């Protein structure tokens, strides 16, 4: 591999390799492709049912993001979410997900399907001051009842959210929505804080069960 040194002052130097340059180039291309994907509406949703183990009846579903890439085909979130988070494109992608899920909830409700849909909310999304007002606006626009929506936040996000976010979350929950903590068991929860949070359930991470 080729190495390139760059002086950084105070006797320090950064070392660049061809591999690092290639990784940066791939990340920039992925970011450009994501921008095109947002503009061209290349995203879609897959619905994973959540089943009552006693009755075997589906009670809800999780809306999972998929990217129909024009060259490489269907991509799962693991292939692009980190780049979306780093570039802040996750906010625009998240807005698309919210709109698509609100439309789906309203359509299912009109057919008499009373199954709740859950979506993952990223830290970048929820730190936006107007996140909950935008969420309510899209739900109202489509006529989607909040009682059929569940928001999932990670354990790490739950432990780092400020009081202002919790108040907004509690108000949305009071409207009928549900709040869940995902990936529970992967971090270090403050159980006293957890007890006081406006949440309905926790989803145990497979590593905790193992």
pLDDT of residue 33: 95
Q: Three-class SS of residue 140?
A: helix
Residue 21 tokens read as 């340059």
Q: Three-class SS of residue 165?
A: helix
Phi-psi region at 184: left, alpha or beta (left = phi > 0; alpha = psi -120 to 50):
beta
Low pLDDT (below 70) residues in the chain: 1-16, 22, 187-189
pTM: 0.82
CB-based contact 27:21 (threshold 8 Å): no
pLDDT of residue 1: 45
pLDDT of residue 41: 93
pLDDT of residue 2: 44
CB-based contact 146:175 (threshold 8 Å): yes
Query: Whole-angstrom Cα distance, residue 149 to residue 115?
Result: 9
Q: Would you tell me how many other CB atoms lie within 10 Å of the CB of residue 88?
A: 10
């Amino acid at each position: 591999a080729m190495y390139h040194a760059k002086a950084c002052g105070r006797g320090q130097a950064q070392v660049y390799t061809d591999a690092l340059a290639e990784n940066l180039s791939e990340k920039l291309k992925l970011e450009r492709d994501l921008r095109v994907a947002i503009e061209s509406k290349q995203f879609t949703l897959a619905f994973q049912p959540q089943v009552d183990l006693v009755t075997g009846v589906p009670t809800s579903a999780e809306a999972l993001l998929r990217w129909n890439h024009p060259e490489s085909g269907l991509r799962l979130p693991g292939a692009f979410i980190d780049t979306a988070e780093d570039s802040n494109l996750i906010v625009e992608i998240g807005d698309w997900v919210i709109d698509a899920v609100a439309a789906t909830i309203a359509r299912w409700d009109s057919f008499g399907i009373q199954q709740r849909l859950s979506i993952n909310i990223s830290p970048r999304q929820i730190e936006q001051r107007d996140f909950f007002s935008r969420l309510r606006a899209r739900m109202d626009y489509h006529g989607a009842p909040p009682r059929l929506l569940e928001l999932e936040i990670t354990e790490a996000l739950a432990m780092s959210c400020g009081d202002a976010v919790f108040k907004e979350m509690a108000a949305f929950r009071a409207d009928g929505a549900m709040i869940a903590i995902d990936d529970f068991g992967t971090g270090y929860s403050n159980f006293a804080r957890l007890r006081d949070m406006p949440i309905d359930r926790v989803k145990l991470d497979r590593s905790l069960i193992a």
